Structure 1
Amino acid sequence: MIQTYADRLLLAMSQRNVDVTTLAKALGMSYQGVKRVTDGKSKAFTAANNEEAAHFLRVSPRWLATGQGDMDAGAVRDPDPWPLPFVEEADVRALAPEQLTALGVAVALAVSQLKLNIKVTPQTPPVQPPSGVPFRDHKPGALVDMDAADDPFPMRIPGLPPAPWEADKISLRPAPPPKMSSETGVIANVGPGEPHAANDRFEKVPELADVRLAAGDGIENHSEDQTGMIQFRRSFLRSVGADNGKARVVYAKGDSMEPVIRDGAALLVVLSENLTVRDLAAGGVYAINYDGKMLVKTVARDKLTGRWVARSFNPAYADIALENGHPVRVLGQVVWTGARLRDDEAGQWVPHR
Structure 2
Amino acid sequence: MEFKDRLKKARKARKVSQVRLAEMTGLDQTTISNLETGKVQSTSKVVQIAHELQVSSRWLATGEGDMEDNVAEFRSKQAPKGDELEMLDTIVTEGDEPLRPDEVMLPVFREVEFSAGSGSTQVIENHGAQERFSLPRLSRAGVQPENAALAIAKGDSMEDTILDGATLGIDKGTRHVIDGKIYALDHGGMLRVKRLYRMPIDRIRLSSDNSDEYPDEVYHVHSEEAPRIIGRVFWWENFD
TM-score if structure 2 supplies the norm length? 0.48
Structure with greater Cα Rg: 1
Question: Which structure: greater strand fraction?
Answer: 2
